[in-house]
Chain A
Amino acid sequence: MEKQNLYFDKFAMIPEKVKFMIFLGYGLISIVFGLIMDTPQEILSGLFRIITEPDLLLSDYIGVGGLGASFVNSGLLTVICILLLYWLKTPVNGIAIAAIFLVAGFAFLGKNIFNIWIIILGVFAYARYQGDSFKEYIYVALLSTSLSPLATYFIFTLDQPLIIRIIAGLFVGFGIGFIMPPFASYLLRVHQGFNLYNVGFTAGVFGTVFVSLMRSYGFEISTRFIWSTGNNFVLSLYLFVVFSSMIIIGFFLNKRSFKGLLAIYDYAGRLVSDFIILEGFAPSLINMGINGLAATAYVLLVKGQLNGASLAGILTIAGFGAFGKHLKNIVPIFVGVILGGLTKMWSINDPAAILAGLFGTTLAPIGGKFGWHYGILAGFIHSSVVHNVGYLHGGFNLYNNGFAGGIVATTLIPIIEHFREEG
């Protein structure tokens, strides 16, 4: 006997195929946009550079391979992820959408059509080892690709013969994928679900241990900083069209209404707040569009740059519009980071500060649960912590803010919890 869907009729209202088609459409739009921006030759040579150059932070793929190649890379990864989820018959729920957008976003900042597979293969092997279906691990597989730069570092950068580099890269990437599911699941309990980018926290802890070992054997990890500028007009236009279309499609799927949106705002956003399951697909899509517009507006308001790195942050915020983030719990984080920028030794539109604002929304559930003032505090503290943790993992963990967010949540939650009345 299946569960009665008395409360969740809306969940079944929109066929899964339609949901897949909508997001497949966004992947194709990204590819088409890329093809418009550059010639096929420029895109191919850009893709080659994206694949073969180091991917560690901060490698803005628009700066590495150009607008055309980076959008084609993002679009291809989006399409591949969606087809993979469809093939595995995975339901289109909030975590699936968040994972797709995370991959699509970080396809501008370190993930590419080559480097994600090694880690995914490791997770697949873990599923087999457990005797489970890969379908149950697909979310963590997609999310775990945050450590992809570590595998490609060995393959393309290490000063060793090619065969040694390939074996080392495959071994490291596969090993990361194999241990990530139990590791990520365990570390959830440390911050109790108040850090939405839990895999970022996990990858940060793992990366810190791994890089410490590497450094103690004399490996020197060079830093990288590629931050493209000058594309604000064309990218804001693109993002405006994409996010507005989400709101419009959601509005029509929602029987020409915004019903359910306010119900989403009532959730604290703590893991596991899957808005698609809890409130339905259409209001979640509207929420994603609103989040995306708000994140784009934030970058433009603080006079920041729209580039590969900030696109990663914006698309992530939009994706997590189906899995924990909404206007009410992300704005306090923005305010906290801006206050940090005004009072600390960096400017609010410095690259790291821009990224802290966007990715700092990993702590949105703190404001959602305890009130906006705690959200501001979390953003304020986060903007300092994130400036200091990148060195620990050598820039190999693409979700550096998830790592910092885990540390901030782990610090704040026990204190808040201790001084809170039971009830």
Chain B
Amino acid sequence: MKHYNKRVARIADELISFFLSVGGNNIDLKIEVTADYYKFYFKTNYLAKKDKEIAKFCKLINCPKQSGIEEYYGGLAGESDIDSEIYLVGMMVEQVEVNYLDDHYLELKFYKYKQG
């Protein structure tokens, strides 16, 4: 599949869609692009009553990297209006770091390497 830029856009789409669905109304996304990788910085708030969904998100985004699955199924990320593919995002990215902040804010950092 290649098309790394599109993959990154799909990952961003999934994250934004998910956090809008859990009440995020102050979302920051920064993507640093280098020759070898894309580095994501993501900070958002969420509704307090969505703690359970956030805990599940943290589990799914930490899915082990699966390059074979990404190659075939990566195009599904960011496609559906009615369901999220956070576990697919988890299978596409590396070095995930999740930090819970005060006032129901969450900070997320991870990498998407251009090879593998």
- By a CB distance below 8 angstroms, the chain B residues around A188 are 73, 75-76, 79
Whether A420 contacts B82 in the complex (CB less than 8 A), given A3-B64, A272-B76, comes out as yes
> Does chain B have a CB within 8 A of A82?
no
Q: Is the CB of B91 within 8 A of A189?
A: no
Whether A417 contacts B82 in the complex (CB less than 8 A), given A7-B59, A136-B71, A272-B69, comes out as yes
Residue from the set B62, B74, B83 with the largest chain A CB neighbour count within 10 Å: B83
> Does chain B have a CB within 8 A of A6?
yes
Within 8 A of A (CB), among B88-113: 88, 91, 94-96
Q: Is the CB of B82 within 8 A of A182?
A: no
- B52-96 vs A, CB cutoff 8 Å, 1 = contact: the mask equals 000000111011111111011111100111110101100100111
> Does chain A have a CB within 8 A of B1?
yes
> Does chain B have a CB within 8 A of A95?
yes
Q: How far is the CB of B13 from chain A (nearest CB, A)?
A: 13
> Does chain A have a CB within 8 A of B21?
yes
Contact with B88, one of A5, A184, A272, A423 (Cβ below 8 angstroms): A272
Residue from the set B21, B72, B87, B94 with the largest chain A CB neighbour count within 10 Å: B72
Q: Is the CB of A137 within 8 A of B68?
A: yes
Within 8 A of B (CB), among A265-314: 268, 270-274, 277-278
Within 8 A of A (CB), among B3-34: 21
Q: Is the CB of A137 within 8 A of B87?
A: no
- B20-51 vs A, CB cutoff 8 Å, 1 = contact: the mask equals 01000000000000000000000000000000
Contact with A6, one of B21, B62, B71, B75 (Cβ below 8 angstroms): B62
Q: Is the CB of A185 within 8 A of B62?
A: no
Contact with A271, one of B68, B71, B73 (Cβ below 8 angstroms): B73
Q: How far is the CB of B14 from chain A (nearest CB, A)?
A: 12
Interface residues on B, range: 20 to 34
Q: Is the CB of B69 within 8 A of A274?
A: yes
Q: Inter-chain contact count A-B, CB under 8 Å?
A: 107
Contact with A277, one of B63, B71, B74, B85 (Cβ below 8 angstroms): B63
A423–B22 Cα gap in the complex (Å)?
Answer: 8
> Does chain B have a CB within 8 A of A20?
no
Contact with B87, one of A90, A95, A140, A278 (Cβ below 8 angstroms): A278
Report the nearest A residue to B84, measured CB to CB.
A270
Q: Is the CB of A193 within 8 A of B80?
A: yes
Q: Is the CB of A192 within 8 A of B79?
A: yes
Q: Is the CB of A185 within 8 A of B1?
A: yes
Q: Is the CB of A3 within 8 A of B67?
A: no
> Does chain A have a CB within 8 A of B2?
yes
Q: How far is the CB of A162 from chain B (nearest CB, A)?
A: 36
Q: Is the CB of B58 within 8 A of A7?
A: yes
Q: Is the CB of B62 within 8 A of A270?
A: no
Q: Can you report 6 A-B residue pairs in the complex whose CB atoms are below 8 A from each other?
A: A3-B65, A8-B64, A90-B68, A188-B79, A278-B60, A369-B83
Q: Which residues of A contact B (CB under 8 A)?
A: 1-8, 11, 90-91, 93, 95, 130, 132, 135-140, 181-182, 184-186, 188-189, 192-193, 268, 270-274, 277-278, 369, 416-417, 420, 422-423
Known: A5-B64, A189-B75. 6 other contacts (CB 8 A): A2-B94, A7-B58, A11-B64, A186-B75, A189-B76, A192-B83
* 7 pairs of A and B residues whose beta carbons are closest in the complex: A7-B59, A136-B71, A272-B73, A7-B62, A192-B80, A193-B76, A136-B68
